[in-house]
Amino acid sequence: MREFYGTRLQTPLMLGTAQYPSPGVMARAFRSSGASVATVSLRREGGAGQDFWALIRDLGVKVLPNTAGCHSVKEAVTTAHMARELFSTPWIKLEVIGQTDTLQPDPFGLVEAARILCDDGFQVFPYMTEDLVLADRLVEAGCRVLMPWGAPIGTGLGLMNRYALRSLRAYFPDIPLVIDAGLGLPSQAAEAMEMGYDAVLLNTAVARAGDPVAMAQAFAMAAEAGRLAHAADPMPARDMAQPSTPVIGKAWLE
């Protein structure tokens, strides 16, 4: 497993903490998934009581606070500072939303906020589209992790732009890459890991499943299978058939 700002995660699964039927179901889903990271939104869950925050801490995983729901640089930076104070971590998943219907990030605000936070000692995980130029600007701003979406948040559409996602992996071989948002099925998580991505982050696909605990386990197994498959150096796709049984030494009848 690749290191994320010096932290080596035990599993390639990051899981959100919102939308579960109950806190108890969320806790069981985390135990079932073996997730290494829990993401939590201060703006969307800011009204949660101390019992909820204690439950988050008791999950026993790395906490990645995020700035979900922020639509400006000022909102995102302020929320990040609140998160650092509450969770005593320099990690922040940076979201600056630019389009309400698609929840697409604002690339200009994202780069500006990333630069401010990186200069202030934060370790930034930027939620971004699969844009190569945007990725380059974020790395220049100080980000050492990139988190492109597979599809818009909560859609379950999977990996919409495989070409661009592969290009990101090829262009940034030494930067940890995480598919963040849009995954709906475990098979999509496996495909992302087979591409060489270092982790996947999801929430809705597990929290809104009929059985969140079972779905969390399914995603964990799929992500690990994809990771192992990539490490095993898969065979390339071919246009023509190739027999699996060797023809050398085969007896020919006339």
Joined tokens for residue 180: 């963040």
Determine if residue 154 is labeled as part of a ligand binding site. yes
Question: What residue has token string 């982050």?
Answer: 201
Determine if residue 29 is labeled as part of a ligand binding site. no
Determine if residue 203 is labeled as part of a ligand binding site. yes
Residue closest to 117 by CA, chosen among 147, 96, 87, 86: 96
Residue closest to 104 by CA, chosen among 93, 112, 96, 114: 96
What distance in Å separates the CA atoms of residue 131 and residue 10, rounded to the nearest whole number?
28
Q: Beta 104-105 vs 97-99: how paired, if at all? A: antiparallel
Question: What residue has token string 């999509």?
Answer: 188
What is the DSSP-derived secondary structure letter of residue 69?
T
3 state DSSP class of 192: helix
Determine if residue 89 is labeled as part of a ligand binding site. no
Residue closest to 114 by CA, chosen among 64, 77, 67: 77
Q: Which of 62, 74, 93, 250 is catalytic?
A: 93
Catalytic (active site) residue 62:
no
Residues annotated as part of the active site: 93
Instruction: Enumerate the known binding-site residues for 1-deoxy-D-xylulose 5-phosphate.
Output: 154, 181-182, 203-204
**Residues comprising the binding site?**
154, 181-182, 203-204
